[in-house]
Amino acid sequence: MVQKLASDARLPARRPQPLFEPLPEPPVVSYPIGEVEIDWECLQAKRPTVLETIDAMPVYLLKPEILVLLDAEKHPTYHLILDLMWTTGARISEVLALNPASFIDDGYDFGVILKTLKRRAGRPRKAALQRSPKRYVPINDHLLQDRIQSFLYAGR
């Protein structure tokens, strides 16, 4: 049993607290750059020079070229595979190894768990052993999310 002492009389009465505190308003963030324009033609013109001068630079495609490749593919399954490779940065073997359990939709985020299938010959190095053979890649494109979910719903 708790007894009330005379010294408790000096404390002020507690204010009634609301059950749920209102959420604070999110801070207003202003970015100094409103829009970024990229000169794709200039980048395409400079690509041969970049590839000649930097030895470790792999041959690469720019975004307009990728979009042309994606638009050229008419088969929906192959188009989805190319789109997944472009969006997630996955290798073809990693995309082909996906199954329905690889896609995560927890109500907050939608993403895919990719298994790293690239193995080098010989004994793995210590850094390679510490690295996870799986990686989670979020997919923020809502149209791609819908296409993936309809593809999975169709039972493929």
Strands 110-115 and 134-138: antiparallel
88 occurs within a structural domain: yes
Q: Determine, yes or no, domain membership for 93.
A: yes
In a domain? residue 138: yes
CA distance 152 to 115: 19
The pLDDT value given to residue 84: 92
Closest CA to 97 of 84, 114, 119: 114
Domain span holding position 104: 57-156
- Whether 17 is in a domain gets the answer no
Tell me whether residue 34 is in a domain.
Answer: no
User: CA 47, CA 156: separation in Å to the nearest integer?
Assistant: 39
Q: What is the pLDDT of residue 74?
A: 92
Query: What tokens does 43 get?
Result: 């980048």
Helix (H, G, I), strand (E, B), or coil: what is residue 126?
helix
Instruction: Please indicate, yes or no, if residue 5 is contained in any of the structural domains.
Output: no
For 136, the token pair is 């989670």
Give the chain's domain count. 1
* Confidence (pLDDT) at 82: 92
Q: Is residue 26 part of a domain?
A: no
Is 31 within a domain?
A: no
Tokens representing 85 are: 């490779």
Name the residue with tokens 């690295």: 131
Range list of H helices, the chain: 40-53, 63-72, 76-88, 92-96, 126-130, 142-153
Please tell me the predicted confidence (pLDDT) of residue 107: 81
pLDDT in tens, the chain (156 residues): 455 555 555 665 665 556 666 667 777 877 777 788 889 899 899 988 888 888 887 888 888 888 898 899 999 899 999 999 999 988 888 898 898 999 998 888 899 999 876 666 666 566 655 566 888 999 998 899 999 988 888 876
Q: Are 133 and 115 in contact (CB under 8 A)?
A: yes
